[in-house]
Amino acid sequence: MLTVHHISKAYNIQPILEDVSFSINPGDRLGLIGPNGSGKTTLLRILAGHESPDRGAVVATRTGLRIGYLTQGFAPRPGITLGELLEQSLGNPAEVENELARLAGALALDPQDRSLQDAYQAALERMQALDFTLQPSVVLEPLGLAGIDPGQAVESLSGGQKTRLSLALVLLQDPLLLLLDEPTNHLDIAMLEWLENWLGQFSGAALIVSHDRTFLDNTVNRILDLNPETHTIREYSGNYTGYLDQYLAERERLAEAYSDQLYEIRRMRQDIARTKQQSLRVELTTTSRQPGVRRYAKKVAKKAKSREKKLERFMESDERVEKPKESWQMKLEFGEPVHVGQGVLKLEELAVGYPGGPALLSGLDLQVRLGQRIAITGPNGAGKTTLLRTIAGKLDPLSGQVRLGASIRLGYMAQEQELLDLQRSALEIIQHNAPFNETEARSFLHYFLFSGDDPLRPARDLSFGERARLELAVLVVNGCNLLLLDEPINHLDIPSRARFEQALANFNGTILAVVHDRYFIDRFASELWLVEDGALHREVLSS
C-alpha cells in the first residue's frame, strides 16, 4: 500500500530520521515505538503528506489510497460545536459541487491556468472523498458519542470524549490506511477493548504510535523501533512482547560478546607487555659479545610491536563490539518518605461531585493504609478524577469528610497538567519547590532527562511528555508520602513507563492512581477500585 524509500529528515542541523525504509502492506498492523522526541510524529506527518522528507520518497503502491491520520494533539477552533465540527470535517456535497462547477467554467475560459487546474483537482478529490464518507451515527454510536448534543462546544468535552471524537473524525473518512498517533490517550478500558476489536476487523492497514504495551500486544504484528541515537528504524516481527524478547536477547548476546572482547583485549595487552618486558630484559642482561641472543631479543620486540599494531587496527575497525548502551529511560527515584502511621487516608460517608450538580459518587466509607497501591479505573465521566481532586483538596466534598493521617505529605499529579506554571522554566519551578542553587537544580533535573538548555525553556514550550516528567520531578523534590496520580503515564513513552513503574515499586509510601493502562495495573496495583454507575467496587488483586 505504501513504501518508504530511504527517507531522511533534519530540522536545522539536528537529524531526526536517517535512511529510513519499510513497507506497509494490506492487513499490516505496525507498532512504531521509540522515546519521546525520537521522530515518531515527524515520520507519521511525512507519511500523511503533511511534511516532506529532505531525501528519499514515500510512494503509494495503491491507486486512490485514502489515508486517515489521527494526530496526537486535538485542538479544534475555540467555541466550535460538535455539529459544526462534523460538517467542517466531512464537507458539504452541495458546496463542493458548486465549487467544481465554478472552477470548470473558469477552466473553460483559461484552460492553461495552473492555479485553476490545481484548485479543480483539489475540489475533485474532496468530492471523491465525500463519496466514501460514512454516516456519522455509524461511527459515533460505538464510540459513545451519539448522545452528545450537536450544539455542545467541543472544548467542553472530557479528555476521553475528545480522543474518541478525533478518532471518529478519522474513521468517518473510511480510510484504507490508518496512521494513529497515541490513539489510546484518555480512553477507558472498555473503549480500549472496543478499539482493539475494531482494529482486528479493519480490512485496511494501520501504523500505530502508542506507549500502551498491552494495546500493542493485542493489535500489532510488527514493531518498528526508532533509535533516537542513530535515527534509524529496526524492524521486529510479532507484537510488543515478542519485540521485547528479541531485543533483550539481542542485548544479552551483545553484552556477552563485549565481555568476551574485553577479556581478549586484556589478554593481548598482557601478552604484548610480557613480550616487550622479555625483550628488554634480554637486552639489559646481555652484551654486544652475545649477538645471537640480542638478535633473538630484537625479533621478540618486533613481534610485540606487530601484535600492538594489530590490536590498534582492531580497536579502530568495524569488527570491534561497542559497549551496549543503557536504554533511553527516566532515571527516576523517589526518596524515602518520612515515617507515618498505618492509617494514611480515611473517607467517611463521602459524596463527590461539582457544586450545583448531582453527586457522581456517594456513601464512600473507605480506609487506605500505608504502602497500598490502588489503581482507580472505570468509564470516562464516572467520577474518578473528581474523587481524586476531592481527596487532594481541590474540590470540596458534597457531603462527608476526607481525613488524612498524621505526617501525611500529599502530592497530586493532575491529568491535564494544569498545576504547572507554564510561564516559568523547569529550573525556576524546581527552585520554587526546593532550596536548590542553579547547579543543584540542574543536576536534579538531569535525572528527569532535562539536559543542555532544556531546564531554561518555559514550561509552555515543553512537550506533553516533558511536562509530565517535570510534574513527577516536583512530586519527588517535595518528599511526598501519599501520591495521587491522575493518568500519570498518559504522555510517557514506553521506556519512561517502565522506569516509572520501577520507581513506584521502590517507593515506600502510598499511591492512588487513576489509570487505564492494563500493563501498568498488572504490575503496579495491589487493589483495584472500579468506579461505574455511581458506585465504587473494591477488588484485592493477587500479588
What's the pLDDT score for residue 333? 57
- Give the list of residues 6+ apart from residue 327 with CB closer than 8 angstroms, or none: 495
Phi/psi at 51 (5° precision): -135, 160
Q: pTM of this prediction?
A: 0.64
Measured CA to CA, the distance from residue 413 to residue 391 in angstroms comes to: 12
Sheet holding 535-540, edge to edge: 410-413, 482-486, 510-514, 373-377, 527-532, 535-540
Q: Which residues of 83-113 are buried (b: 16+ CB within 10 A; e: fewer)?
A: ebbbeebbeeeeebeebbeebeeeeeeeeee
Other Cβ atoms less than 10 A from the Cβ of 520: the count is 22
- Helix (H/G/I), strand (E/B), else coil: 541: coil
What's the pLDDT score for residue 312? 79
Q: What is the DSSP string of 448-514?
A: TT--TTGGGSBGGGS-HHHHHHHHHHHHHHTT-SEEEEESTTTT--HHHHHHHHHHHHT--SEEEEE
Radius of gyration of the chain (CA): 30
CB of 379 within 8 A of CB of 188? yes
Cell of 233: 528504524
Measured CA to CA, the distance from residue 446 to residue 235 in angstroms comes to: 31
Q: What is the mean pLDDT of each run of 10 residues along the chain (543 residues)?
A: 93 90 94 88 92 92 84 79 78 72 86 84 68 63 80 80 83 86 82 88 92 91 91 93 87 82 83 79 68 71 79 73 59 54 83 89 91 90 90 92 88 75 91 88 81 87 78 82 86 77 76 90 90 90 68
CB of 500 within 8 A of CB of 492? yes
- Helix (H/G/I), strand (E/B), else coil: 427: helix
Measured CA to CA, the distance from residue 15 to residue 482 in angstroms comes to: 42
Q: Reduce the secondary structure of 44-72 to three states and give it as a string.
A: HHHHHCCCCCCEEEEEECCCCCCEEEECC
Helices (H) and strands (E) counted in the chain, each on its own, are: 16, 18
What's the pLDDT score for residue 524? 85
